Structure 1
Amino acid sequence: MTISEPITFLWFDGQAEEAATLYTSLVPNSALGDRLHAPADTPGPKAGSLITVDFTLNGRPFIAMNGGPAEGHAEFNDSVSIMLTCDTQEEIDRLWDGLIEGGGEPVACGWLKDRFGLRWQITPKRLLELNSSSDKDVAKRSFEAMMTMVKIEIAALERAARGE
């Protein structure tokens, strides 16, 4: 038996293409792919309506589906998120601002909720390095600093790691 590469499947209420377009515009090495239109009426989309949009984020496959209202189905929540790691504060700020725009909400510790309700973690690579430092004091200070932040600020992490 052959199993294909896992694909993350995201349920939207009519905004699948809008969401996929936003996400691919923000993440490098990303693209919109095939679109599937309903060949017949469904309980949600009617014949001819867009059902799914394939897309990739930095080469990783996703499918966004116009499944209709989340009633009877789980809405996006904090138990699932997409984590993007960034090298620079500029990358963090660009992604953060792009995903918050239009009704998203900052949460805490680098997490946000976009306007579609999907959760994201915008994480500096430096945070991961500092939090896993062999110097336990550096790891503790950087972790404690992160816990006070909403959007992660690399310069503030570096200061905390140094004990400043």
Structure 2
Amino acid sequence: MQIVSKIVPCLWFDHQAEEAARFYTGVFPGGRIHLVTRYPKAGREIHGREAGSVLTVEFELAGQRFTALNGGPVFTFNEALSLQVMCEDQQEIDHFWSRLGEGGDPRAQQCGWLKDRFGVSWQVVPQEMLQYLVDPDPAKVERSFAAMLQMKKLDIAALKRAHEGK
């Protein structure tokens, strides 16, 4: 077996690794599952999982490999780690915001951030947002940032108007 990426994020789930991987690969065009591994009989006294139940799911989204692990309820996701989706246009923002947010926590939506139904935090961001935040004109940066703070799902046209002072 060949390792494709040197760094592969591993997402720890209680028991929803396969469900999450199937959901994510359905949200991202071209997303796919590469491999499912299963718990063996060995170590059941440590991991507590039935032999044959899903251990890991190797999957790919937009060219990035991930591992989803069924590790039990010991650890949960929080906002200290999020996955950024850099979007080319408002249609992409609308798609990813809507799909990733299905069944998620609506209270955890601010400035392009959302939490999905598995507790994973995502940032759905227009690619040009960084340009607005590093503009050499501090007034443009202030307006762009202030506009972003008022949004849940980011609106490219509104951000552009704020950046331009319109």
1:101 and 1:89 map into 2 onto residues whose CA distance is: 18
In the alignment, is residue 64 of structure 1 matched against residue 64 of structure 2?
Answer: no
1:52 and 1:24 map into 2 onto residues whose CA distance is: 15
User: Is the alpha carbon distance of 1:5 and 1:87 closer, same or farther for their aligned partners in structure 2, counting shifts above 3 Å?
Assistant: same
- Alpha-carbon offset, residue 44 of structure 1: 3.6
Alignment partner, residue 38 of structure 1? 39
Q: Which residue identity does 1:99 align to in structure 2?
A: L
2:110 and 2:48 map into 1 onto residues whose CA distance is: 34
Alignment partner, residue 93 of structure 1? 94
- Alpha-carbon offset, residue 103 of structure 1: 3.4
Question: Which deviates more, 86-95 or 34-43?
Answer: 34-43
1:159 and 1:30 map into 2 onto residues whose CA distance is: 34
State whether residues 45 and 67 of structure 1, in contact with CA within 8 Å, keep that contact through their aligned partners in structure 2.
Answer: no
State whether residues 32 and 53 of structure 1, in contact with CA within 8 Å, keep that contact through their aligned partners in structure 2.
Answer: yes
2:148 and 2:113 map into 1 onto residues whose CA distance is: 11
Alignment partner, residue 77 of structure 1? 78
TM-score, normalised by the number of residues in structure 1: 0.90
- Alpha-carbon offset, residue 28 of structure 1: 3.1
Q: Which residue identity does 1:7 align to in structure 2?
A: V
1:144-155 to 2 correspondence within 5 Å?
144-155=146-157
Deviations 1:107-148 (A, max 9, x none): 211000000000000000121221122222222211111111
Identity, in percent, stands at 45
2:104 and 2:125 map into 1 onto residues whose CA distance is: 21
State whether residues 104 and 116 of structure 1, in contact with CA within 8 Å, keep that contact through their aligned partners in structure 2.
Answer: no
In the alignment, is residue 47 of structure 1 matched against residue 51 of structure 2?
Answer: yes
- Alpha-carbon offset, residue 5 of structure 1: 0.3
Q: Which residue identity does 1:53 align to in structure 2?
A: V
Alignment partner, residue 15 of structure 1? 16
Please, which runs of 5 or more residues in structure 1 have no aligned partner? none
Task: Return structure 1 stretches of 4+ with deviation > 6 angstroms.
Answer: none
How many corresponding residue pairs? 158
User: Is the alpha carbon distance of 1:22 and 1:104 closer, same or farther for their aligned partners in structure 2, counting shifts above 3 Å?
Assistant: farther
Deviations 1:14-49 (A, max 9, x none): 111111111112223421110001111352421010
2:9 and 2:29 map into 1 onto residues whose CA distance is: 18
State whether residues 38 and 53 of structure 2, in contact with CA within 8 Å, keep that contact through their aligned partners in structure 1.
Answer: yes
State whether residues 33 and 57 of structure 2, in contact with CA within 8 Å, keep that contact through their aligned partners in structure 1.
Answer: yes
